[in-house]
Amino acid sequence: MTRAAHFHTIIIGAGAAGLFAARYAGRAGPVAVLDHAKKPGEKIRISGGGRCNFTNLSVDPENFLSENRHFSKSALARFTPWDFIGLLQRHGIAWHEKTLGQLFCDDSATQIVDMLLAELRDVGGELRLQSPVTRVRRATTGFRLETARGPLTCRNLIIATGGKSIPKMGATGFAYDIARQFGLRVTETRPGLVPLTFPNRRFAALSGLSLPVRATAGGATFAEAMLFTHRGLSG
């Protein structure tokens, strides 16, 4: 059997969640971040129209819909928007506020990726790209992974591969498969953010027109801008 490199923590997924988790995991011991992609943070790069809407000033727990409302309270109390803003300031990243407390980079979303990679380097973390994981199993103390670049072992394993959204950027159901493998309950998934389209381009003549709207569902009300597109509605 090929001798496996060992890490205190291995994180599968070099997106926003994986890279940010590595920042903390690396303080406890050697950490490696794996991803099957050629570049890290692909979804970060396209977020916010290329400027990354990295946080929002209105992140009070009551603004979140969840089966466990207490989770939002504890999670947001442990790391606030101001904590992230402080991180950006330490890295010299300028930002601005848009409507409804939305915060964006003045420059490019790539700055956020570079910041997270710098944080990974600061804790001595290792980034392994183009390293798809083909197998995960329990080991004597932790986990053993089979990858395209050889076997790895770790004490702690974090799955941060995200959901199935934007498959053309490499998104897969890997995390769901691993969850099922280890006996975790997996809720059936369905699209959560999709365009609303009309047949025959019914409102194409209004394309580009925006107006404020208010929508109410399940006792929650949302107010935002709605945009007419060539095929339907967006916003």
Token pair 């979804």 in the structure block, residue: 43
Q: Which residues of 73-106 are buried (b: 16+ CB within 10 A; e: fewer)?
A: eeeeeeeebeeebebbeeeebebeeeeeeebbbe
pTM score, two decimals?
0.85
Element (H, E) at 116: helix 110-122
- Cβ neighbours of residue 127 under 8 Å, at least 6 residues apart? 14, 32, 33, 35, 40, 117, 120
Tens digits of pLDDT across the chain (235 residues): 567 899 999 999 999 999 999 999 999 999 999 999 999 999 999 998 899 999 999 888 888 877 887 898 999 999 999 999 999 999 999 999 998 899 999 999 999 999 999 999 999 999 999 999 999 999 989 999 999 999 999 999 999 998 888 888 888 889 999 999 999 999 888 887 777 888 887 888 888 898 999 989 888 888 888 888 888 888 7
- In sign, the C-alpha dihedral spanning 180, 183, 188, 190 is negative
Q: What domains sit in the chain, N to C, each tagged with a CATH number?
A: 1-50+108-193 (3.50.50.60), 53-105 (no CATH), 196-234 (no CATH)
Angle, CA 190 vertex, CA 186 and CA 195 arms, to 5°: 155
Using the 8-state DSSP alphabet, how is residue 188 labeled?
P
